[in-house]
Chain A
């Protein structure tokens, strides 16, 4: 027999649950009974407090039951039970270590219960439970407390964000971390914040600030917790959000409606259907609701430069740091630092020299170091800082003598660095590395080819002439392909603006065609401008519903068409006003040649516009005119249209190309991992037969196909899963033999007339397309 469950009041005439039930129904009548039980509870507490460690079983059990009872009905008698919360708090605070475990859990549960009954507020509850979480030695209590604290914070924030409570708790956690950086208790702040971040309850700067403090603390566990949060917290949050949206079981409305049509109609069923429809609608609305803006923790950081510097100089740079981190933990910190540097384009020059000593093939998990290095690179890093690193990687990793994996990893790392800062490479080294294109090993070869194709785009001059390729060579000759200088950056644009411009051009030509004017007549600039103005006015017209007096707007055109140009634009050459044009006769000087190119002269043949010209054309529209709401609406429409068209099969190939390009220039937010660096090494070794088969089947390595089935059976299962029936053929085959027997017998005895009728019927059915026909 185990420990016997002692029910203090079992087998007695009255029991507490019974009384509790009665009190809930009529509190006033049972006031005396409650006060009796309250007195008993008070005396049992006194008994307990007299000798907390040596209390006997029975009194503990009855105390537990009484606490449970009182906490359930305390809200009915606020006057009598006013000291209850304080009792529990004191009991927990001073005796949590020697309370019997079941009683202790009951006390915690009762506190939460009276919080739910709003006898105490969240802040009181949390300030009671949180210190316990830090001090108690019992693991089960810690688990319980953590869960309760978390759920309390969740419920407090469920209806609307409880800013006051959040701020209070956040300050508590921050102070915990800041007051004693060396203590391991900070891990609870980290755990709590991470959990709340994952559930999107806390998604503000203050939470990030807590984690920042954790990452800079002096306890290795806390440091790792903080760093891991920055590296993986956002991904975790996204996954959790996806999971929760997947979780809610979808109601099949069509099925429900169908069933409602068949089964017996009752009011209850009708109500059920209505309820289901409401939930579906609610879900739809939820889905369509604008996505809450969730900034990643890395973006919410206040002063990332300071944070990165502190992290680096506290944990990585010194010979004997305050916290001894092992290699794995150091790598985590390094990853975070490099991530910050890459993402925010920070300047941390010492970081690059720090890498130098780790870049040897014998260094454990060197690919992670290489990935971090690549990540820490961005276009504002001075090439001088990177050049020795690239040189070292090349020397240490890329040689004939090195193993294939090592060489490919080295080349890959160099490529990743150079994608971000092409100036880190010099001519001789590049030409050396390019030679590995001819390597027998596939991984190395691919990596080298990647390097070549990269430099064809970003720095073709560094390549030998024969390596440049056609496009790069042409670009170099025409001057379109220029090496970017240090610190130079690309201009931005508006997505789909070219579509809008093209649409406008077409529209204009169409209108002219209707009026009987020559379509491609650009001489008449004044007319064109007037048209544009009119269009613009039209665009604004329908926008403001209250603005009714738009009839007068005709007057505007007359005033404008005088030739006064109000366009706010600096570039005179793109749309010169007609008066100006008349005054200064166009003189085709070589100086003006460039301008003429862009001006789309009528004499010029419509040549394939180069990218540079297109960029200029795009900027024209946005910088010379204010886009009307109508324009914006059209822009949106065109954009969606284009995206739809891109899904058509004709556009498939193009799309693939775009995807490949996107893969080449990954988003700056994404981290580079060790797998990216060592990925090509997989090409070096030949795959086994099994691996190939698994790959062809689309199975992951190590996964097994669960059942061997015929194709027909699989098809059938698929159909069944889709809720479809079997084919007629299948039905015929399945038909009971005895049922077919009678028909076969009768078939032989048919008269000629009957046979004719049957055959005719068959013919007719074929024509109609089945028994019911194909009409409906």
Chain B
């Protein structure tokens, strides 16, 4: 078109130059795009410039604080720095390792794979003794991670669990609410089902494929492998008496500090939450939440809740899969057999929950 007067006028307007006036701001172009933005915080890449290098202490402090950073790479770098520092200054490390451990454990459920891998590297560098006192911190997160939808997080969780069990197996299985809840998590992860009449009736329909033999992420044998390994070390820590009897140990320590009597009660506690058993302030605990710090007790609960039978059955099925997983499963079976060797299987136990 373009023939009507109106259109002509419109077209003419396109080519007109805006009049500039002295002392007035320049009019904005029609296609002007505002690039201003609002921010609650502005992160500068180089925030401190100083001629003298900060001390190692300050650097570690700074890096520990960076563990809470929003940026993935910053968290990762901070972890790497701390790992290096620990490796280099094994003797005179100026910072409380426990504190670092506490902070780092919060990254167990981190979204970024890099951060989690770096975290695992850090964990392997930490001395097991230093960690003992803070062991409650990672346990909950590891349990959450075990059932996560993201494969990477699951992987990290199992790795972390295996590492923890290696150094502090007894501590892990005997802390509050760990034993039963972890077993239940494993049960759900492996999709072992108790012989429950309610479920068997549910699956009676012809179209129902017995889904229970397919554990979570079963298409990935790597995860399954890791899972089985973790279960093995968990059961080993929980069911098999480690080393000598506790009475013998007590006698040995008493002999070591001979003139003194009951020294350990007057020193700093070596285990985390030493009075947790008393449950002074929490709500009354159920069977799940209770702490079981004795092997026999753990065995009893393991059998009483019907978990033993379920696990034995499930592992047996898993073993039949063969391959790497089957081999790992047979390891688990061995642990089960060893741990429950003196347990009377014929005895009927009521499932009380």
Contact = CB atoms under 8 A, between A and B. Distances in A.
Interface residues of A, number: 37
Contacts of B271: none
A97 B153 CA distance: 31
B134 to A, nearest CB: 12
B70 interface: yes
Contact of B202 (A19, A28, A62): A28
A79 B194 CA distance: 15
B189 interface: yes
Interface in A1-57: 1-4, 6, 8-16, 19, 28-29, 31-33, 35-40, 42-44, 46-47, 50, 56
Given A15-B149, A16-B149, A79-B198, A36 B189 contact: yes
Contacts of A39: 143, 146-147, 184-185, 188
Nearest to A4: B70
A2 B140 contact: no
B86 to A, nearest CB: 22
Contacts of A6: 111
B149 A14 contact: yes
A526 to B, nearest CB: 91
B39 interface: yes
Contact of A32 (B198, B208, B212): B212
Contact of A46 (B140, B149, B191): B140
Contact of B144 (A3, A35, A40): A40
A531 to B, nearest CB: 84
A623 interface: no
A490 B147 CA distance: 84
Contact of A35 (B150, B188, B209): B188
A58 interface: yes
Nearest to B208: A28
Nearest to A44: B144
B106 interface: yes
Given A32-B191, A56-B68, A62-B109, A43 B39 contact: no
A59 interface: yes
A47 B144 contact: yes
Nearest to A19: B149
A40 B144 CA distance: 4
B126 interface: no
B110 A58 contact: yes
A56 B150 contact: no
Nearest to A40: B147
Nearest to B187: A35
- The CB with the most chain B CB atoms within 10 A, among A9, A15, A16, A38, is that of A9
B140 A13 contact: no
B111 A37 contact: no
B211 A32 contact: yes
Nearest to A10: B111
Contacts of A33: 216
User: Which bucket holds chain B's interface residue count?
Assistant: 35 or more
A205 to B, nearest CB: 43
B59 interface: no
Contacts of A15: 149
B151 interface: yes
- The CB with the most chain A CB atoms within 10 A, among B41, B149, B185, is that of B149
A52 B281 CA distance: 16
Nearest to A90: B283
Interface in B130-172: 136, 140-141, 143-152
- The CB with the most chain A CB atoms within 10 A, among B39, B109, B184, is that of B109
A12 B144 contact: no
Contacts of A43: 140-141, 143-144, 147, 181, 185
B129 to A, nearest CB: 23
A315 to B, nearest CB: 47
A172 to B, nearest CB: 27
A38 B43 CA distance: 38
B28 interface: no
Contacts of A35: 188
Contacts of A40: 144-148
A15 B150 CA distance: 8
Given A8-B111, A35-B188, A1 B39 contact: yes
B40 interface: yes
Given A47-B140, A47-B141, A3 B40 contact: yes
B38 interface: yes
Interface in B304-321: none
Contact of A56 (B39, B106, B149, B203): B106
Contacts of B216: 32-33, 36
Contacts of A46: 140, 177
Given A14-B149, A40-B147, A29 B109 contact: no
Interface in A587-646: none
Interface string B28-49: 0000000000111101000000
- The CB with the most chain B CB atoms within 10 A, among A12, A13, A39, A58, is that of A39
16 contacts: A1-B39, A1-B41, A3-B40, A8-B109, A12-B152, A28-B202, A29-B211, A32-B191, A39-B143, A40-B148, A43-B141, A47-B140, A59-B109, A59-B141, A59-B144, A62-B109
Interface of B: 38-41, 43, 68, 70, 106, 109-111, 136, 140-141, 143-152, 177, 181, 184-185, 188-189, 191, 198, 202-203, 208-209, 211-212, 215-216
